[in-house]
């Protein structure tokens, strides 16, 4: 299932049932799991590990070195999980020598055309990167997060699980879990209620998150008073506890 016009290095490890289209270039130290399909003209450099049943479309660039002037050809990696869809002209870079050294991508993600994941990023599961959504280096993206088209995430930012960044969002601070942000620079606009409903969150949990958001982001109460009020909800709802833990652990500040 490897087209005769593809160039596959003899040191690459290709599992059975992998389809590689014409004019692909697969370098050494590349491992591709069973059931993965690689479209025409795709370039995959190593060290890169790709799991099972991924679908990679034409002209994607997978596993090139980081776009970092400090990079000195250190041995770094890109690790991709299972069942990801990687559309045309997507770029996924390996880690850097001064970071973790690994760029990690989980399972069941959708990377639409021209989206970009830079060095040392960590992407969870079930995320959606709309067209041209881009991550700078050292960014963490939580499970089920959605990045709108042409959105950009600054270095070292975190985007929490189940959050939503609208089209063209420029994010320079952390995005809390469950929150909608939009704009340049991005501002928060409430809880991602529709997304949470679709993913099976209970009405009580959604109401609790909305109450916490209003108390901490919109209330005129002091932060201390607002926090005391929401701590009671955290004892009842793990989603609220996760929200507060994220706020407490921020290093860059929160999109408000």
Per-residue pLDDT at 221 exceeds 80: no
Return the sign of the alpha-carbon dihedral for residues 238, 240, 246, 249: negative
Cα dihedral value 255, 205, 231, 160, nearest 10: -30
Write the pLDDT tens digit of every residue in 151-179: 999 999 999 999 999 999 999 999 999 99
pTM above 0.85, yes or no: yes
Write the pLDDT tens digit of every residue in 230-251: 888 898 999 999 999 999 999 9
Q: And the tokens for 244? A: 């507060």
Distance of CA 207 to the CA centre of its chain: 27
Residue appearing with tokens 């409903």: 197
Give the Cα separation of 121 and 134 in Å (integer): 11
Write the pLDDT tens digit of every residue in 58-92: 999 999 999 999 999 999 999 999 999 999 999 99
Q: And the tokens for 9? A: 């290095």
Write the pLDDT tens digit of every residue in 30-60: 999 999 999 999 999 999 999 999 999 999 9
Per-residue pLDDT at 206 exceeds 90: yes
- Phi and psi dihedrals of 141, rounded to 5? -120, 120
User: What are the catalytic residues?
Assistant: 119-120, 137
Q: What is the largest CA-CA distance in the chain?
A: 68
Mean pLDDT along residues 5-13: 97
Helix (H), strand (E) at residue 235: helix 223-236
Domain annotation for the chain: domains and CATH numbers? 7-138 (2.160.10.10), 196-248 (1.20.1180)
**CA angle (239, 215, 237) in 5-degree steps:** 20
């Amino acid at each position: 299932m490897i087209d005769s016009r593809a160039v596959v290095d003899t040191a690459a490890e290709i599992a059975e049932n992998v389809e590689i289209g014409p004019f692909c270039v697969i370098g050494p130290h590349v491992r591709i799991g069973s059931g993965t399909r690689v479209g025409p003209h795709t370039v995959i450099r190593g060290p890169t590990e790709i799991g099972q049943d991924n679908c990679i479309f034409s002209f994607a660039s997978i596993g090139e070195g980081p776009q970092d002037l400090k990079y000195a050809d250190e041995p770094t990696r890109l690790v991709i999980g299972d069942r990801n869809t990687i559309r045309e002209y997507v770029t996924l870079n390996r880690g850097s020598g001064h970071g973790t050294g690994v760029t990690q991508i989980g399972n069941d993600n959708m990377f639409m055309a021209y989206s970009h994941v830079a060095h040392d990023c960590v992407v969870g599961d079930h995320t959606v990167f709309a067209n041209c959504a881009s991550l700078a280096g050292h960014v963490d993206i939580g499970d089920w997060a959605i990045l709108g088209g042409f959105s950009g995430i600054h270095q070292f930012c975190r985007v929490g699980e189940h959050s939503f960044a609208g089209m063209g969002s420029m994010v320079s601070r952390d995005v809390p879990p469950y929150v909608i942000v939009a704009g340049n620079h991005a501002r928060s606009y409430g809880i991602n209620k529709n997304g949470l409903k679709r993913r099976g969150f209970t009405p009580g949990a959604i109401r609790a998150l909305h109450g916490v958001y209003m108390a901490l982001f919109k209330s005129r109460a002091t932060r201390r008073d607002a926090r005391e009020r929401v701590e009671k909800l955290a004892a009842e709802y793990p989603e609220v506890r996760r929200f507060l833990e994220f706020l407490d652990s921020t290093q860059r500040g929160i999109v408000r």
